[in-house]
């Protein structure tokens, strides 16, 4: 059982990783607040994940570091750390493991600091937690803060509150463009090309979804606009694309109404956890064993893993290193469709 801290500490959590990692850190932050009920919990994040953390009612304040912009130069970075030091934190927890993060922790002057054993510059942290490769990222977060969980007790979904303006925007969009039809959402994008399920396979899956009388909505960022528009022109009124239109917050509000989300191993799969919908994650160059898979009862994962070259890296590449991309092409559409049938019970 956790010991509750009833002091009025200020606690900083540093999470400057990608949006998917931000979502998966929410259960850890919620438990940290429960374990330190009278403490102020603040998050240090990047501009792209600020909107995600703003949805969490257990976070008291958000500090943004623009490590690719304003704080990119050493001068501005050190100025930022001086400002951070003046905030008077009692503790720092850092699920993020970069050298820059460790340097911030060192310069903060905070004595009670927690990090992972495989963090860069790990000796900066006073308390180190083993980074267990066979654990899910949510479990690793709980390990970091010392939260004890049962074998399945770690499967706590991210808790957020969707703002009313986002709800209203999505409600209006669905009324105008979907007109009450049931729909599936597909997220075809990823920062890394070898995480993207082949488009020709995806088109077969879209045709199947349409055969079930489901509309299809494509979501994603600006990089998916071209793909989304191309698919919309090919499938006419049966498919619409909101890629590059909706924010992370609005995308979560949209997902709440979807019958199913089909995603690559990327941020949208984690957004679906926030509203507890059925999620089917398609793994190409990566594997679920890395610990970033959707873990709700309604979710499934598919991966063609009978390859000596898979996984080729923890993130992926712009091109298949062996130039065949069998991890994507061998995950055949009929396998995906069979799993969709199970999820939708059709």
What was the pLDDT predicted at 314?
86
Backbone angles phi, psi at 217, to 5 degrees: -115, 130
> 316 or 324: whose pLDDT is higher?
324
Within the chain, all domains assigned CATH 3.40.50.2000 are found at 10-145, 164-344
Grade residue 180 by pLDDT with cuts at 50, 70 and 90: confident
Q: Give the architecture-level CATH label for domain 10-145.
A: 3-Layer(aba) Sandwich (3.40)
**Bridge partners, residue 92, by sequence:** 12, 113
Looking at residue 192, the DSSP 8-state letter turns out to be S
Please state, in angstroms and as integers, the Cα–Cα distance from residue 229 to each residue in 215, 225, 239, following that order.
15, 6, 10
Structural fold of domain 164-344: Rossmann fold (3.40.50)
| Res 337 pLDDT > 80 | yes
Q: What is the pLDDT of residue 7?
A: 47
Once rounded to an integer, what is the mean pLDDT over residues 201-215? 98
Of the pLDDT bands very low, low, confident and very high (cuts 50, 70, 90), residue 8 is low
What pLDDT is stored for residue 46 in this prediction? 95
* Spatial distance between the Cα atoms of 84 and 82, rounded to a whole number of angstroms: 5
pLDDT per position as a tens digit, 227-254: 999 999 999 899 999 999 999 999 999 9
Predicted structure pTM score: 0.92
pLDDT greater than 70 at residue 5: no
d(CA 47, CA 67) in angstroms, rounded, equals: 9
Residue 281 pLDDT > 90? yes
| Secondary element (H or E) of residue 63 | strand 61-64
- Tell me the pLDDT of the chain averaged across its residues: 94
């Amino acid at each position: 059982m956790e010991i509750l801290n009833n002091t009025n500490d200020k606690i900083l959590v540093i999470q400057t990783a990608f949006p998917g990692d931000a979502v998966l850190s929410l259960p850890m932050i919620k438990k940290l607040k429960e374990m330190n009920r009278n403490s102020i919990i603040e998050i240090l994040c990047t501009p792209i994940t600020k909107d995600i953390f703003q949805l969490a009612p257990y976070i008291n304040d958000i500090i943004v570091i623009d490590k690719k912009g304003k704080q990119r130069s050493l001068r501005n970075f050190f100025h930022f750390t001086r400002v951070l030091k003046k905030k008077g934190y009692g503790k720092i927890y850092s699920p993020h493991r970069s050298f820059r993060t460790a340097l911030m922790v060192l310069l903060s002057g905070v004595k009670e600091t927690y990090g992972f054993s495989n963090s860069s510059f790990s000796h900066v942290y006073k308390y180190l937690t083993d980074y267990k490769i066979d654990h899910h990222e949510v479990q690793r977060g709980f390990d970091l803060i010392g939260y004890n969980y049962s074998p399945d007790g770690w499967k706590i979904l991210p808790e957020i509150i969707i703002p009313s303006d986002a709800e209203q925007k999505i409600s209006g969009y669905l009324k105008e463009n979907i007109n009450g039809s049931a729909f599936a959402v597909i997220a075809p994008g990823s920062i890394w090309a070898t995480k993207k399920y082949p488009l020709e396979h995806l088109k077969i899956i879209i045709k199947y979804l349409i055969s079930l009388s489901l509309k299809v909505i494509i979501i994603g960022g600006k990089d998916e606009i071209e793909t989304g528009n191309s698919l919309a022109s090919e499938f006419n009124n049966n498919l619409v694309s909101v890629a590059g239109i909706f924010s992370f917050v609005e995308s979560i509000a949209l997902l709440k109404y979807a019958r199913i989300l089909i995603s690559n191993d990327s941020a949208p799969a984690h957004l679906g956890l926030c509203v507890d919908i059925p999620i089917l994650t398609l793994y190409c160059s990566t594997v679920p064993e890395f610990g970033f898979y959707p873990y709700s009862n309604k979710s499934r994962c598919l991966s063609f893993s009978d390859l000596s070259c898979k996984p080729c890296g923890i993130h992926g590449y712009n091109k298949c290193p062996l130039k065949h991309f069998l991890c994507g092409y061998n995950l055949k559409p009929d396998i995906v469709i069979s799993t969709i049938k199970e999820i939708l019970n059709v």
